[in-house]
Structure 1
Amino acid sequence: MKLPRYMNARIFFAFFLSLITFQVFAQKGEPVIISVIYQFKHINDLNKPGKPYTQEMILRLGQNESRYSSWTDELNRKLPSKSVGKITQSATKSSGSYNFVPTVMVQSRGIQNFDLLQYPALNKLIRTVTLGSSNYQIETSLPVINWKVGDEKKDVGGYTCQKAIGVYAGRTYIAWFTPKLPFRSGPWKLSGLPGLILEATDLTGEVSFLFKELNKGEDNESTAQRMVRVTKVSEKAFDRASAVFEKDPMAAAQGQFPVGSNKPQLAFIDDNGVIYYGEDANKIYNTYKKELKQRRDNPLELKN
C-alpha cells in the first residue's frame, strides 16, 4: 500500500530521530577578542546573476575558537516584527491550558538560523542549525585547504594582507589574510592560513566575503553557540532530513511532533523579512515553490 506523502515524511523523521542517541548542551565558549563583519554575496541562481543573495555575516574570535553567523539576522531580531495574516490558536481548553497550534517557519532564502564554530587546535568544525522545531549539531573535521601563499600584498581595512589561493568544495578562492591578526580562521569554512582572512572571493565572482569592519569584543560577548540545547547527528543524516524538510516542510515538521499533536500552520518569511501567516503564507509559499522550479541552482559548495 502506498503511503501518503506526509506519512512518508513523518516516518522518515521518526526513523531519523530514532538514530539520535543523545542530546548535548552548548559549550561555554571563550570571551570574544575581536569580531569581523563581512559583506557576503552569493549568486545562488544562475538565471539571475544580477540579483545575488547578500547578507552581512559576523565572525567572533576568541583565543582558541571562533563563531560565524548572520549579523543581518541579529540586527533584524532587534527590529519590530513585520507580519501579515493571523497566527492560528486553538481555543480548546485541555488540562487547564490552551492548545496552541505549532508554527513551521519557512524562509525564502533557506536555512538562516545557524552557527559555524571553528576549533583550529582541535581540527574540529561544529555546525548548529535550526530545522523545523528542533536544533541540530553536526561535528566534522576542519576542511583541509592547500593554500598557495604569494608575495602580492594589499591593504584591507587598514591591515597589510597577503594573497593566498586555495580550492575548497569545487571553488577556487583568492584570500587576503593578515599575519598581524594571528588567528587561523576566516569567514565561513575558510581557514588554515597563518593569519586572519579578511577577504575572500572565488574566481568566478559568484561568491565573495568582503571586509566591512573590525571591532573589539564587548563585555560578556562569547564565541559559544547560541542554541542552548541541541541534538547531535551525523552530517549525512542531517543532509537527508534537510532535503525532506525543504521538499515538504509541513509534513516533515509534523513528523517532529508527538503523534496526536495539532496540525502545524505555515509561516513564510520573504526576502524582506516580512512574515506571512495562514492563507497569506500558503499563497506566497505556493508561488515561491513554482519559482524554485525555474531556477538554476548554484550551491555554495559545488562538491565535497
Structure 2
Amino acid sequence: MKKIINIILLTVIIAFSTVNAQDFQGVATYKTHRDFDIKMDSTKMNDAKQKQIMEMMKKQFQKTYILTFDKKESLYQQEEELDKPQVGSGFQMSLGSSGSDVFYKNIKDKRYVDQKETMGKRFLIKDSISPIEWKLESDTKHIGEYMCFKATYTKQVPKINFNFSSNSNNDEEKDEAEAPEMIERTVTAWYTPQIPVSNGPAKYQGLPGLILEIHDGKLTVICSKIVINPEEKNEIEAPSKGKEVSQTEYDDIMEKKSKEMLERYAPSRGAKDGTIHITVGG
C-alpha cells in the first residue's frame, strides 16, 4: 500500500503543473449503460415482442454525459440526443432522469446543486457532498492514455425486484408497504492521478485523481474522451431554476409519487389487456 501511495503522490506532483494555472479546465465525455434482468408475462406477449422491448430498454439506458470541470467545480449534464424509439401502445416507461438535468458540484465547499425535471416538475436539490470512504487498491490499468488506479467502497442499498407481469392475482394484498430488504454493494472506481482533481461523474468524487470509470451494481460509467484546457472555455455555474428542496425532501417526494403511479397504473385483478407499465429510478 505504501508503494501505491508513493506512486500516486509522484504522479500528482508531475501533473500538478498542468492544473496549477488559474484558467485550468477539462471536459470529459462519459458513456453509461445499465444492465437489467426482467421477467415478462409470456402468455401476454410473444418472444419477438419481448425481444423488441428488451432492445428498446437497452437503448434507453445508453446515455452520454459531459463533465466540465476545473480545480474546484464541475457540471455534469446529459448530451442532447434524439428521442428514444417507442415500442407501441400498451408499453409505457418513465425514467428517473431527463436530458435537461444539470448536476453541479463544488468540491472545495463540499456542496452540490442538482437540477432535475421529473414528472413535469423542475426541482433544485441543494445539499452537502457526503464523504466516500474509498479503499485504495493496488490494481492498475490504462484507460486511453491515462494510467488508472483502482479504488472501492461498500454501501447499503435496497434490494429491488422488477416483475412486469400483468397478472395481479395475489391472494393477499398488503395494506402497508414493507421496508425494503437492504443488501451490501461494492462500488469500483478507476481514477487517474495524471489529472489531479478530486472529482468524477455524477456524485462520485473524493479520490486523488479524476474518476474515469465506475461500476456500481448494474450501472457502468466509462470515460471515452478527455480534453484538457480546451480553446473555448465553458462557464461552470450552479443551476438556479426549480423548486428548492434538500436531497431527503426530494427522495420523499419521489417515493410518494412512485407509489401513486403504481396504484394508478397497476393492472386490476384479472386484467387481460397485457399492458406493461414500468418506472425505473435514475
Is the contact made by 1:138 and 1:234 (CA closer than 8 Å) also made in structure 2? yes
Which residue of the partner structure matches residue 127 of structure 1?
A: 114
Deviations 1:248-285 (A, max 9, x none): 68xxxxxxxxxxxxxxxxxxxxxxxxxxxxxxxxxxxx
Find the aligned partners of 1:130 and 1:43 in 2 and give their Cα distance. 24
Q: Distance in 2 between matches of 1:180 and 1:288?
A: 53
Instruction: Kindly indicate whether residue 226 of structure 2 is the aligned counterpart of residue 214 of structure 1.
Output: yes
Which residue, 180, 187, 190 being the options, matches 1:173?
A: 187
- Which of 29, 35, 47 is equivalent to 1:37? 29
Once the two structures are superposed, what CA deviation does each residue of 1:48-79 show, in whole Å capped at 9, x if it has no partner?
998542211221102311111212xx2449xx
Say if 2:267 is the partner of 1:291.
no
Relative to the length of structure 2, the TM-score reads: 0.60
Tell me if the contact between 2:124 and 2:240 (Cα under 8 Å) persists in the aligned partners: no
Aligned residue among 42, 61, 70 for 2:69: 61
Q: Partner of 1:128: helix, strand, or coil?
A: strand
2:212 corresponds to: 198
Aligned to 1:237: 249
| In 2, Cα distance between equivalents of 1:245 and 1:183 | 37
Q: Does 1:137 align with 2:124?
A: yes
How many equivalent residue pairs? 200
Q: 1:165 to 1:133 in 2, by over 3 A?
A: closer
2:236 is the alignment partner of 1:223: yes
Sequence identity (%): 22
Deviation at 1:45, TM superposition (A): 5.0
Q: Secondary structure at the match of 2:95?
A: coil
Structure 1 unaligned segments of length 5 or more: list them: 1-29, 84-105, 250-286
| Letter aligned with residue 36 of structure 1 | A
8 A Cα contact 2:73 2:105, kept in partner:
yes
Change (3 A) 1:142 1:156: same
1:31, 1:223 within 8 Å by CA — same for their partners in 2?
Answer: no
Taking the aligned partners of 2:85 and 2:252, their CA distance within structure 1 comes to 32
Please tell me whether the aligned partners of residues 93 and 277 of structure 2 are also in contact (alpha carbons under 8 angstroms): no
The CA RMSD over aligned residues, in Å, is: 3.5
Q: Give the aligned residue type for 2:111.
A: K
- Quote the Cα distance in structure 1 between the aligned partners of 2:227 and 2:34: 24
